[in-house]
Homo-oligomer: A and B are copies of this chain.
Amino acid sequence: MVLLRRIIGEALRKRRRAQQRTLRDVSTAANVSLGYLSEIERGHKEASSELLASICEALDTRLSDVLGEVSRTVAGVEDSQRLEKMREARRARVATAPRVDATVTALRVRPLTHPPQRRVRHTVPEARVAA
């Protein structure tokens, strides 16, 4: 499951750091305690709609820009989680597949598309060796 508050928190922290501002500075501007802002940035607390708007204003950032970035990050996480699920399902299919006897397995693993080549013995003529 994607934890939205963690991704929102990271987006807010990234913007604050890009502006080289301290937690104290932004928390004062947004009228929120320093500790609470820190908890929000680390994804430990949910920010209410009012507080999120207030933090965005303090960062001189549009809420829609933050949400746009967040939705793209969430999409990336969802994609990789989906891929992981597909991989797991495949692994489970392989693990629970009925066993086949050794010969069939061998044929499956290395199908004989080409007939085995004869080994050609290269012998050096004795005349040459003598020379």
Contacts and interface: CB of A to CB of B under 8 A. Distances in A.
Interface of A: 1-6, 46, 48-50, 52-53, 62-65, 67-68, 70-72, 74-75, 78
A124 to B, nearest CB: 69
Copies in the complex: 2
A68 B67 CA distance: 7
B63 A4 contact: yes
A74 B61 CA distance: 13
B64 A78 contact: yes
A48 B43 CA distance: 12
A79 to B, nearest CB: 9
29 contacts: A1-B50, A1-B53, A2-B53, A2-B63, A3-B50, A3-B53, A4-B49, A4-B52, A4-B53, A4-B63, A4-B67, A5-B48, A5-B49, A46-B46, A46-B48, A46-B49, A62-B78, A64-B71, A64-B74, A64-B75, A64-B78, A65-B71, A67-B67, A67-B70, A67-B71, A68-B68, A68-B71, A68-B75, A71-B71
